[in-house]
Amino acid sequence: MAYTLAEANKLATDNLLAGVLETLTTKAGVLSFLPWITVVGNALAYRRQNAAPTVSFHDVGDTWTEDTPTFTEVTTALKILGGDADVDNFLQATRANVQDLEAETIILKAAAWRDKFEDMFINGSVDSDATQFDGLQEMLDDDFPAAQTVSMGTNGATLTLAKLDEMIDAVRPGKPDLLVMSRRSRRSLNSLVINSGAGQFIESTKVGDLLIGGDGQAWTPRVTLYDGIPIVPNDFISDAQTKGSSTDCSRIFAVKFDAGAGLHGLSAPGTGGGDSPVMVERLGSLETKDATRTRVKGYVSLACFHTQRIAQVTGVRP
């Protein structure tokens, strides 16, 4: 059964873990939407569907030919993502009246965990670093059909709504659940929609629960929609990719989560409250210095169960 971090947070019994989970989803980034599946063991072996079965009309007495979908056997291993947060005991004891230094340090470590995952969600590559998992770019470039990649041309070009819609149509069935792009691409898309007179295709909506900011003010994260599809900016999609003779190109991704068939995060069971993919482990006092250590970690990966659940546009120039 798949779950989101927001759902896992409702089951967390540890206040510190709850704070970490809230930190992971406050940016309305990929982690606010991505569903997770728990994996028993250190890897998930599954069959990725390449093509759907077909049916046809038959005359009376015809011979029926059996037809089945085609699959590719895929094994996705869990990877260890985490870091330690040390808090000086003297500083914690003397400054806790202003702010809980330990909690603040752990929250900052959680934010670093979130950013690293969002980076690997796009740029992860087992081929370049065996400790990583494959992200969207590696999946689409190496493992998925060419039909899932829409090109802006040999040397790239300025984004058009036609090319964006072509990518969206490559994700089936129905619409994608998310569009992931750089902030530059999001600005370009906003301008493109407005200048084309199709402003009704851009709107915004609230996502997630009511949050309390550091200044004590209540707020709810908002996300921009294109034709009803949430747009999530990702700071780790480079705007300096090479396409032919151009070195100022970027990419836009479309993903569909589609329970049991789409893109999912993978995590080990019981690594946190409510089967959260993130665990907050208190290691206690250190021997070599007067400090307390807490480890923020997760055993995580990505899996996509059908080749038509993700797509990309490449060569997007400013």
Question: What does the pLDDT look like over 49-103, one tens digit per residue?
Answer: 877 778 888 889 888 887 777 788 889 999 999 999 888 888 877 775 655 777 7
The DSSP line for 52-80 is --------TTPPPPP---EEEEEEEE-EE
The CA distance from 17 to 27, in Å, is 17
CB neighbours of 218 closer than 8 A, spacing ≥ 6?
Answer: 210, 211, 212
Share of the chain above pLDDT 70, in %: 84
Q: What is the DSSP letter of 287?
A: S
Q: Say how many C-beta atoms besides its own lie within 10 A of residue 61's C-beta.
A: 5
Kindly indicate the confidence band of residue 146, based on its pLDDT and cuts at 50, 70 and 90.
Answer: very high
Cβ atoms of 272 and 42 closer than 8 Å: no
In the prediction, which pLDDT does 14 show? 64
The CA distance from 312 to 314, in Å, is 6
Residue 276, pLDDT > 90, answer: no
Residue 210, pLDDT > 50, answer: no
Cβ atoms of 239 and 159 closer than 8 Å: no
Give the phi and the psi of residue 17 in degrees, each rounded to 5: -65, -40
Residue 7, pLDDT > 80, answer: no
In the prediction, which pLDDT does 223 show? 80
The CA distance from 161 to 202, in Å, is 12
In the prediction, which pLDDT does 246 show? 96
Q: DSSP alpha helices (H): ranges in the chain?
A: 5-11, 15-25, 89-95, 101-123, 136-138, 161-170, 183-195
Averaged over 125-138, what is the pLDDT?
96
**Burial per residue of 149-165, b for 16 or more beta-carbon CB atoms within 10 angstroms, e otherwise:** bbbbeeebbebeeebbe
The CA distance from 199 to 193, in Å, is 6
Q: What is the DSSP letter of 191?
A: H
CB neighbours of 213 closer than 8 A, spacing ≥ 6?
Answer: 219
In the prediction, which pLDDT does 59 show? 87
Mean pLDDT of the chain: 85
Kindly indicate the confidence band of residue 150, based on its pLDDT and cuts at 50, 70 and 90.
Answer: very high
In the prediction, which pLDDT does 48 show? 86
Averaged over 24-39, what is the pLDDT?
83
Of residues 225 and 9, more confidently modeled: 225
In the prediction, which pLDDT does 240 show? 98
Averaged over 198-225, what is the pLDDT?
57
In the prediction, which pLDDT does 136 show? 98
Kindly indicate the confidence band of residue 195, based on its pLDDT and cuts at 50, 70 and 90.
Answer: confident
In the prediction, which pLDDT does 220 show? 55
The CA distance from 284 to 82, in Å, is 17
The DSSP line for 98-129 is T--HHHHHHHHHHHHHHHHHHHHHHH--TTT-
Shortest CA distance to 310 belongs to which of 77, 71, 150? 150
In the prediction, which pLDDT does 282 show? 85
Share of the chain above pLDDT 90, in %: 48
In the prediction, which pLDDT does 221 show? 59
Strands 202-206, 222-226: parallel, antiparallel or unpaired by DSSP? antiparallel
